[in-house]
Every structure is written in C-alpha cells, then in structure tokens.
Structure 1
C-alpha cells in the first residue's frame, strides 16, 4: 500500500534530493514559497522550500528500497518514530499537495512598491487609510508617510499590510 513519508535532507539540498529521488522513479512533494529577501543591500525575490530540509516522498513500503533512498545524494535519513519511518497522514498530504499546486501556479509574494507610490493600509489600527510608500526597512517592514492631524508622519509598518491604490 502506498503512503507518504518524510525525508530529512542535508542543508539546502532539497532540490538535489528531489531530482535524485525522482530519477529513481518515486513521486515527491517539495512545496515552495516565493519570498523577498535583502541580499547585499538589495531586495530580491527568491523561491524557498516551505519546509526547509524536508521533502515528502510517496512509497509502497512492500517494494521500496529504503536503504537506497537513505543513501541518495542530498538525503540524510527518513523521519522516524519508534525506529520505523513515519508515515504522513493522507489528510495532511492532501493539504500539502494543494499548497504545492497553488505555489506552482502563483507564489504568495509580498508586494513591492516604489517610493512615492500611493498605497492603502489593509491591516492594523490604520486599516483603510491611504498613505505614500517611502522605502523598505528590513526584509518584511517598510516606511510610509501617513497624513495625520495635518502633518505627514513617517510610520514603520509590515509591507504585507499594504496594497496598491
């Protein structure tokens, strides 16, 4: 009977492990997410595994070669409980497979705005107010100008709490 298992991969080698496992004829699942990071002072988009250092694999436990899979390049070992490779419940895998399918179609990236662009705040105490985007501050926050009491105030806010006007 086929079931899903979880493999622990070597650091940043999930893609390598996935390719080598699929070359052996197995089905894998490696859900990914698009994120923005600051690299050398510049904001860049990158695609990262949703579960770093882990990959899901579908196996028939009666015919699968667990030793060969454990020795695959990029793989450390199976996740085990009580000495036996742990199976992932089918309900959990249904959700994860849906996430993987959605991430292939459209990644959930944080919006990128340019300086001076009009934005609307969608979350928090200032939800519904208009502001002007100033600049990014770190990986997930930014500075905006908000008109309050007749003055422009510079406020730090989560970038995900903004949308284009």
Structure 2
C-alpha cells in the first residue's frame, strides 16, 4: 500500500486525521509543539508540521474512501498523478520529530527571488538566486560564475 498526501481545509489537519482513523484509514499527521504567547499567558500547543496536508496509507483502489470524511479537499498531485510518499520518508519524518534536540521546525517552499545554496551536483556549494519556477524546471542565476542554470526535475 502506498502513502498519499491529502489536502485538507485550512486548520483542519488534526480533525481530518482523527476522522480518518475513526473510518479505519491509516493516516499520519506530523505534529510539532510550539509555545504560543497571548497577552495573559503562554501555552504549549501542537500544530501540524505541514499546513493543510495529511498522509494516508491505502490501496490504490480505496483512494476515493477519504472523500467520505469532512474537511478533505483533494489529493496532492505531482506531474498529473497522485503524489506517492515512500514509507522510508514517512519513517524519516517520524524519527526526526522524535529527536530530543529539535527546538524549532518550519517548512517553506522555494520562491522566485530566494537565495539558495546548491548542495549536490556539478555546482555544489554554489550560491544561486531562483529566477523562475515552472512545473518541471527551475532557472537559477549563479552570480559567482556569471551563468544561468536550468534544472529539470521529474
């Protein structure tokens, strides 16, 4: 069985995960603990690591069963097909969130204008500026080398 990513209504991640479990569907909503401060108090709260996403594990033939749950909007798609997450990636998320030395975790996406450092490949350790993002490629400007790099992904 594959892990799929379900897109939920905003702020419904924990509710959807609870209802999916009640319906007998294996799901995972990674949570992190943050301290929120109001004017009169501080409180530890659990918030989802990924906004509006819940992972579900089910057979391909049972994929439509998640739409019985209120708050489920759609599946996340990648290149025209439902995005599949490897079991090892789910386990890596679970393991890293259990680590005792994690104090603050945040997830963000790459956007046009962001400065990034390439970590692998022929241009590893080079700084780049994201110039364009498309459905299947990035265009990066490598200032130190004076060139433009187009990276295709599948």
Structure with bigger strand share is: 1
Cα displacement (A) at 1:49: 1.0
SS of residue matched to 2:64: helix
Structure 1 residue runs of 4 or more that deviate by more than 6 Å after TM superposition: none
SS of residue matched to 1:52: coil
Pairs within 5 Å for 1:83-122: 83-99=80-96, 102=98
Cα displacement (A) at 1:52: 1.9
| Normalised TM-score (structure 1) | 0.55
Count of aligned residue pairs for this structure pair: 104
Instruction: For 1:72 and 1:84, locate their aligned partners in 2 and report how far apart those are by CA, in whole Å.
Output: 22
SS of residue matched to 1:7: strand
Equivalent pair of 1:31/1:99 in contact (CA under 8 Å): no
Match of 2:47 in 1: 48
SS of residue matched to 2:20: helix
Match of 2:27 in 1: 28
Equivalent pair of 1:17/1:73 in contact (CA under 8 Å): yes
Give the superposed CA RMSD: 2.4
SS of residue matched to 2:94: helix
Match of 2:142 in 1: none
Cα displacement (A) at 1:72: 1.8
Structure 1 residues without counterparts, runs of 5 or longer: 111-165
Match of 1:125 in 2: none
Cα displacement string for residues 100-142 of structure 1 (whole angstroms, at most 9, x for unaligned residues):
6x28xx79568xxxxxxxxxxxxxxxxxxxxxxxxxxxxxxxx
Gap change, CA 1:94 and 1:14, over 3 Å in 2: same
Structure 2 residues without counterparts, runs of 5 or longer: 105-154
